[in-house]
Chain A
Amino acid sequence: MRDLIIIGSGPAGLTAAITAAEHGLDILVIDEYLKPGGRLLGQLYEEPGGNWWNGIEESRKLAGRASSLGLDIRLGISVHNIEQIDGSWLVHADCETFETKSLLLATGAAEAPVAIPGWTLPGVMSVGAAQVMTNVHRVKPGQRGVIIGVNVLSSAIAMELKIADVEVAAIALPKTNQVNGKAANPSEVMNALLHVSHMAPSPLVKMGSKLMTNDFMKRMGITLYPKNGVRMWDIPVMLRKAVIRIEGTDQVEGVTLATVTAEGKIIPGTEEVIGCDFVCIAGGLYPLAELAALTGCPFYHIDELGGFVPLHSEDMRTPLDGLYVAGNITGIEGAKVAMSQGKTAALAIAKDHGQDIADTSLSEAVRQISSTRSDAHIQFHSEVEAGRRKLQEYWEQHAAGMRNVMV
Chain B
Amino acid sequence: MTERILDHPVLGVLEPDQTVTFTFNGMKYEGRCGEPIAAALLAAGIRTLRHHEESGTPRGIYCNIGHCFECRVEVDGHQGVRACLTPVREGMVINGGGALPSPVRDWRKDNA
Q: A residues engaging B (CB < 8 A)?
A: 32-34, 39, 44, 52, 54, 56, 76, 78, 110-111, 120-126, 128-130, 132-135, 137-143, 163-165, 250-251, 277, 288
Contact = CB atoms under 8 A, between A and B. Distances in A.
A128 B35 contact: no
A126 B65 CA distance: 10
7 contacts: A32-B85, A76-B86, A120-B70, A125-B61, A139-B2, A139-B4, A140-B5
Contacts of B64: 125-126, 128-130, 132-133
Contacts of B87: 34, 76
Given A122-B58, A251-B60, A142 B67 contact: no
B3 interface: yes
B66 A139 contact: no
B5 A139 contact: yes
A140 B4 CA distance: 6
Contact of A78 (B42, B57, B66): B66
B48 A122 contact: yes
Pick from B3, B36, B58, B64 the residue with the most CB of A within 10 Å.
B64
User: In terms of DSSP, what is the predominant structure of the interface of chain B?
Assistant: loop
B10 A123 contact: no
Contact of B85 (A34, A134, A138): A34
Contacts of A288: 67
Interface in B42-70: 42-43, 47-49, 52, 57-67, 70
Contacts of B65: 33, 39, 128-129, 132
Nearest to B66: A32
Interface string B32-45: 00111001001100
A125 B5 contact: no
A32 B66 CA distance: 8
A122 B47 CA distance: 6
A134 B5 contact: yes
Nearest to B50: A122
Contacts of B14: 138
A111 B63 contact: yes
Given A129-B64, A163-B10, A164-B5, A34 B34 contact: yes
B49 to A, nearest CB: 7
Nearest to B68: A126
A128 B63 contact: yes
A117 B42 CA distance: 23
B8 interface: yes
A165 B4 CA distance: 11
Given A140-B2, A250-B48, A56 B11 contact: yes
A129 B5 contact: no
A142 B47 CA distance: 10
B58 A250 contact: yes
Given A44-B11, A54-B10, A163-B8, A126 B2 contact: no
Given A111-B63, A140-B5, 19 more contacts: A32-B66, A33-B65, A34-B36, A34-B85, A39-B65, A54-B11, A120-B70, A121-B60, A122-B49, A123-B47, A129-B61, A129-B65, A133-B39, A137-B36, A139-B39, A141-B2, A251-B47, A251-B58, A288-B67
Contact of A139 (B34, B43, B62, B70): B43
B60 A143 contact: no
